[in-house]
Structure 1
Amino acid sequence: MYTGNLILGVDVGGSGIKGAVVDVNTGALQTERLRLETPQPATPEAVSETFAELVRMHNYKGIIGCGFPAIIKQGEAHSAANISKKWIGTNVIESFSLACNNPVEVLNDADAAGLAEMRFGLGKGQNGVVVLITIGSGLGSAMFINGKLVPNTEFGHMRLHGDIAEAYASSKARKINDLSWTEWGERFNEYLHYLARVVNPDLIILGGGASKKFSKYEEVIDVKVPVKPAELRNAAGTVGAAVHAYQIARS
């Protein structure tokens, strides 16, 4: 089933599940972006039902794109970030498609945000290595080489100070440790230096909630790579998910 250039994109996160119909030719949202709380615990059964409820709220029929917080290979989750570990080994495409009675295409949530930013935002026309970091409960990542996605990078799970980097430098870490934006920015700057040494990107784009506060910590970011906040901000995951479904439908 194919619905032309207007496709429902859904962004599944650890705290909320958001969705809107997207014009994949322009990246513009065609409906209000609706949000439901992610059920706790976020098991396959509970999240699939919430996903289906969001689809019903849009009164939508057709192919759906979904960004999901996991490594995704052939539709199956190989990790689980801020959701139940019961997702590991579960075919997310099958679970969501059966729940909502629509065909669903799934990719990693940060990869979805990256697709949107490369198609409609700062990454448009950018060659070389571009890395997008989504800053939220964790640190998601998407990497593109000459515009082509390298999926499932998970740079937020690199080791830093004896733990995964997102435990040290995510928005969640800032809140848990009651850090000011400058204090947290110094931590995040450490992470960016590490990332730059490992990946050698030509551009780093920041997405997620903390990207909206870039001016509060920009002065402590001194990595020798251009670092810029994403243009699409929090809508990027929704837009990129829709683009992914469109690309699958057209292929």
Structure 2
Amino acid sequence: MAPANQPDHPTGIDFGGSGIKAAAVDLETGDFASERVRVDTPQPATPDAVAEAMVELLAQLPDSGGPVGVTVPGVVRHGVVHSAANIDKAWIGTDADALFTRATGRDVHVVNDADAAGLAEVRYGAARGQRGLVIVTTLGTGIGSAMVHDGVLVPNSELGHLEIDGHNAESRAANSAREREELSWETWAKRLRRYYSTLEALFSPDLIVVGGGVSKHSDEFLPLIGIDTPLVPATLRNKAGIVGAALVAERELRD
């Protein structure tokens, strides 16, 4: 537990394919309230193995005593994981809230990883203060997405899986496609324009935030996309998952 004169900050845990990272988060500022700690993702990353890794991580954060939020790279409904495109298939149907709560002895809530990043960008990052509909996308191996309207998350949007021109959108527009096909920034930007113009036509968002590791090169491609909706790069980058997960944990505790 935290010392008596310090609040019990919520902890965010970001569960990724190669590593699981955690930190306590100060929700007043959106900054880490502890050092960030990391363990390797177990292989295979079964639910029980990941739960053991969570226990190990939390032991490295002895001063964090609040609720815990965990990102999961899959569809999450009411704490239950319903898809496992990039994680062990044993996750499908797993009540991850119950599993992690039981393993850690803490109040744990899971959230889709892109949704966590979206919440963090809206509260503290590139979309802070933006009213209306914000769509946050993460361009990586696939395309993650989060839709947030006036601060309220519409969960599990999975907009990377839209069918566009007969293709799963992320198969052509994700950063992995750019790398795999050795596309120039200009050629990739044309694919992104097709993708983002489709989001624009379907949802009429007020702002689109573009995240993922490639966002650090946003000057190379964002100006080339050329749609009417403002496009801005994400600002929290690799902090977003941890911060967003902590936000979810705190909201669940209040509700």
Same fold (TM over 0.5): yes
Instruction: Give the secondary structure class of the aligned counterpart of 1:174.
Output: helix
Q: CA deviation at 1:45?
A: 2.3
The CA distance in 2 between the partners of 1:41 and 1:185, in whole Å, is 36
Distance 1:48 1:183 in 2: 42
Residue 30 (structure 1) aligns with: 33
Q: Secondary structure at the match of 1:217?
A: helix
Give distance in 2, aligned partners of 1:191 and 1:36. 35
Following superposition, the deviation at residue 195 of structure 1 comes to: 1.4
Runs of 4+ in structure 1 deviating by more than 6 angstroms, as ranges, are none
Match of 1:182 among 176, 186, 190: 186
Structure 1 length normalisation: TM-score? 0.91
User: Cα deviations across residues 126-164 of structure 1 (Å, max 9, x unaligned)?
Assistant: 112110001222211111122221111111111134332
**What's the secondary structure of 1:212's corresponding residue?**
helix
| 1:249 aligned residue | 253
Question: Counterpart of 2:145?
Answer: 141
Point out where structure 2 has 5 or more consecutive residues left out of the alignment. none
- Whole-Å separation in 2 of the counterparts to 1:32 and 1:88: 32
- Cα distance in 2 for residues equivalent to 1:25 and 1:105: 20
Kept in 1: contact 2:8–2:65 (CA 8 A):
no
Deviation at 1:175, TM superposition (A): 2.4
Residue number among 39, 54, 57 corresponding to 2:57 in the alignment: 54
Task: Calculate the aligned-residue CA RMSD, in Å.
Answer: 2.1
Distance 1:172 1:4 in 2: 41
Question: Match for 1:20: what amino acid?
Answer: A
- Offset of residue 4 of structure 1: 4.1
Query: Where in structure 1 are there 5+ consecutive unaligned residues?
Result: none
2:99 corresponds to which residue? 95
Give the corresponding residue for 2:16.
Answer: 13
Structure 1 residues 82-231: aligned runs within 5 Å: 82-231=86-235
Aligned pairs, number: 251
Q: Look up the match of 1:72.
A: 76
Report the Cα distance in structure 2 between the residues aligned to 1:40 and 1:169, rounded to whole angstroms.
Answer: 29
CA distance in 2, matches of 1:87, 1:20: 24
TM-score normalised to the size of structure 2?
0.90
Q: Which amino acid in 2 is paired with 1:236?
A: A
Give % identity: 46
Say if 1:108 and 1:237 are closer, same or farther in 2 by CA, change over 3 A. same
Larger radius of gyration: 2
Alpha-carbon distance between aligned partners in 2 of 1:32 and 1:208, rounded to the nearest angstrom: 22
Inter-CA distance 16–187: structure 2 relative to 1 (3 Å threshold): farther
| 8 A Cα contact 1:69 1:108, kept in partner | yes
CA deviations on 1:191-235 (whole Å, 9 max, x unpaired) are 111111111111001122121211121232111110001121221
